[in-house]
């Protein structure tokens, strides 16, 4: 076991050395384009925003045609109809998940297999949504629930994307974010007389300055619900220029479209949409001490009765030797479910997996669940990145 570990460390070092030599040009290019610091807007971003932290919007996706999207299930991405050409088989789109830096080595990518473009969409009618099915699921992907009622169609929203940081500007390497207030349909209509109240929702400041922009299309506009969880209220759709005074951004109004989206997702397959199974996540990182134990708590509320017989447990653990790890799910009543044992020979990195657990013996689903990770050997370490429970 220990020998395997040393072997793997040496092999890793050799691979890293080769990688460094071949990457020289790339690194030099990056060095000249120094990223802004995490904590301050040096230049205007999204338009008028700042850099998002890694893991802050874990369901966020970049699409290779130059749009944003959000994980709807672990195999479906919700984006804008105007980002795709039509409905049918499509293997030409690459989705990038799990990183704020599109060039990060830890990005997760998938090719598309199928695209469904809302057949009712037109600029005159609105309904700017599409679903992209990925060739395979992203195990443990964090999904973003869609608003199913207008309850959250007001207040302050978060917007994010890799699109232009100024009108006419370049696409971004790092995910940018900003906050914008709701704009009433009446005010929005004075900027856009044909704006479709009821299926479109507007957001921005009267004085402009902060907005989504070209390349942000298809990405989500979100806010927190009453329990503090993100809920998707909009899909980036259009605007006159970007961040101009009195021209807010216009978003597809998800609360009016979510039933149609859910129905189509059901037809496409590719996982349970949030809402068909309620999803609870903890995206805080928890360091796994060497030869120690750590737990990531997941608060579950509003699930009636017992836990299901097919509870989905999405796990994203970053670790340099996964054979060292023993993983259990602990129910609120203390019942433990073993998800994975240690196995000394398994020297691969990371546990990115969705486990299905028969948890029907847990009489009350509501309460705090824990993902407990034990590291049973020395040397290698890591952290719990995300845990998602789908009921
Ligand atoms: N349609 C644009 C795109 O394709 C996004 C427009 C958003 N514009 C705005 N001012 N909010 O990326």
Last residue of a domain, one of 233, 268, 303: 268
On average, the pLDDT of the chain sits at 86
Report pLDDT for 270. Answer: 75
Q: What is the CATH number of the domain that holds 237?
A: 2.40.10.10
Residue 93 in domain: yes
pLDDT of residue 240 exceeding 90: yes
User: Is 239 close to ligand 1, i.e. is its CB under 6 Å away?
Assistant: yes
Distance 123 CA to ligand 1 centre (A): 13
User: Is 242 close to ligand 1, i.e. is its CB under 6 Å away?
Assistant: yes
Verify that 144 and 26 share a domain, yes or no. yes
pLDDT of residue 365 exceeding 90: no
Report pLDDT for 244. Answer: 96
Residue 96 in domain: yes
Verify that 86 and 230 share a domain, yes or no. yes
Q: 51-84 pLDDT, tens per residue?
A: 999 999 999 999 999 999 999 998 999 999 999 9
- Is the pLDDT higher at 358 or at 25? 358
Q: What is the CATH number of the domain that holds 325?
A: 2.60.120.260
Residue 273 in domain: no
Distance 41 CA to ligand 1 centre (A): 21
User: Is 251 close to ligand 1, i.e. is its CB under 6 Å away?
Assistant: no
Verify that 320 and 211 share a domain, yes or no. no
Q: With a threshold of 0.75, does the pTM exceed it? A: no
Report pLDDT for 288. Answer: 96
DSSP 226-259: TTS-EEEEEEEEE-SSSS-TT--EEEEEHHHHHH
Distance of CA 245 to the CA centre of its chain: 30
For ligand 1, atom 2, which residue shows the shortest CA distance?
214
Q: What is the mean pLDDT of residues 88-112?
A: 97
Residue 164 in domain: yes
Verify that 65 and 211 share a domain, yes or no. yes
Last residue of a domain, one of 223, 239, 268: 268
Verify that 17 and 148 share a domain, yes or no. yes
C-alpha gyration radius of the chain: 22
Q: 314-332 pLDDT, tens per residue?
A: 999 999 999 999 999 999 9
Report pLDDT for 304. Answer: 66
Report pLDDT for 228. Answer: 81
For the ranges 2-16, 148-162, 171-185, which has the lowest average pLDDT? 2-16
Report pLDDT for 153. Answer: 97
Residue 133 in domain: yes
**Pocket probe mutation, ligand 1, options 170, 172, 213, 246, max atoms within 8 Å of Cβ:** 213
**Pocket probe mutation, ligand 1, options 237, 244, 246, max atoms within 8 Å of Cβ:** 237
Q: What is the mean pLDDT of residues 277-285?
A: 84
For residues 58 and 180, what is the distance between their CA atoms, to the nearest angstrom? 20
Residue 156 in domain: yes
Verify that 308 and 234 share a domain, yes or no. no
Residue 274 in domain: no
The ligand 1 atom at the shortest distance from the C-alpha of residue 240 is 10
Report pLDDT for 63. Answer: 98
Q: 160-217 pLDDT, tens per residue?
A: 999 999 999 999 999 999 999 999 999 999 999 999 999 999 999 999 999 999 999 9
Verify that 289 and 264 share a domain, yes or no. no
Residue 385 in domain: yes
Catalytic residue ranges: 82, 128, 217
**Pocket probe mutation, ligand 1, options 81, 210, 211, 238, max atoms within 8 Å of Cβ:** 238
Domain containing 198 equals: 3-268
Other CB atoms closer than 10 Å to residue 32's CB: what's the count?
A: 6
For residues 284 and 49, what is the distance between their CA atoms, to the nearest angstrom? 23
In total, the chain counts a number of residues equal to 391
- Is the pLDDT higher at 29 or at 122? 122
Verify that 93 and 242 share a domain, yes or no. yes
Last residue of a domain, one of 268, 297, 329: 268
- Is the pLDDT higher at 150 or at 139? 150
pLDDT of residue 31 exceeding 50: no
Residue 225's pLDDT band, with cuts at 50, 70 and 90, is confident
Verify that 303 and 218 share a domain, yes or no. no
Report pLDDT for 140. Answer: 79
Verify that 67 and 136 share a domain, yes or no. yes
Give me the number of domains the chain comprises. Answer: 2
Verify that 95 and 161 share a domain, yes or no. yes
Verify that 255 and 364 share a domain, yes or no. no
- Is the pLDDT higher at 274 or at 363? 363
Residue 142's pLDDT band, with cuts at 50, 70 and 90, is confident
Counting Cβ atoms within 10 Å, is residue 126 exposed (0-12), middle (13-18) or buried (19+)? buried
């Amino acid at each position: 076991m220990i020998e395997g570990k040393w072997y793997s460390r040496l092999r890793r070092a050799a691979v890293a050395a080769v990688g460094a030599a071949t990457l020289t040009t790339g690194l030099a290019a990056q060095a000249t384009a120094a990223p802004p610091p995490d904590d301050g807007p040096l230049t205007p971003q999204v338009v008028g925003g700042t850099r998002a932290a890694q893991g802050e919007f874990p369901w966020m996706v970049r699409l290779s045609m130059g749009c944003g999207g959000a994980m709807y299930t672990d195999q479906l991405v919700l984006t804008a109809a105007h980002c795709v050409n039509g409905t049918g088989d499509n293997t030409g789109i690459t989705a990038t998940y799990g990183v704020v830096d599109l060039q990060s080595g830890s990005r997760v990518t998938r090719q598309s297999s199928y695209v469904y473009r809302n057949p009712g969409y037109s600029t005159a009618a609105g309904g700017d949504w599409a679903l992209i099915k990925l060739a395979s699921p992203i195990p443990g992907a964090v999904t973003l629930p869609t608003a199913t009622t207008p309850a959250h169609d007001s207040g302050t929203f978060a917007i994010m994307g890799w699109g232009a940081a100024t009108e006419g500007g370049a696409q971004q390497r790092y995910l940018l974010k900003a906050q914008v207030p709701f704009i009433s349909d009446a005010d929005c209509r004075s900027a856009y007389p044909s704006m479709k109240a009821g299926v479109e929702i507007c957001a921005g400041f009267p004085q402009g300055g902060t907005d989504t922009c070209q390349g942000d299309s298809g990405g989500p506009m979100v806010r927190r619900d009453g329990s503090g969880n993100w809920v998707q209220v909009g899909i980036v759709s259009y605007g006159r220029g970007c961040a101009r005074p009195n021209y807010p951004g216009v978003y597809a109004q998800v609360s009016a479209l979510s039933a149609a989206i859910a129905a189509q997702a059901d037809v496409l397959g590719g996982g349970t949409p949030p809402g068909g199974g309620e999803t609870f996540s903890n995206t805080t990182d928890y360091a796994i001490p060497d030869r120690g134990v750590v737990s990531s708590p997941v608060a579950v509320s509003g699930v009636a009765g017992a836990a299901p017989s097919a509870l989905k447990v999405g796990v994203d653990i970053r670790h340099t030797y996964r054979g060292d790890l023993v993983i259990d799910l602990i129910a609120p009543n203390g019942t433990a479910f073993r998800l994975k044992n240690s196995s000394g020979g398994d020297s691969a990195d990371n546990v990115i997996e969705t486990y299905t657990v028969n948890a029907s013996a847990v009489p009350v689903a509501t309460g705090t669940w824990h993902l407990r990770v034990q590291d049973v050997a020395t040397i290698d370490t890591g952290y719990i990145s995300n845990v998602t429970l789908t009921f």
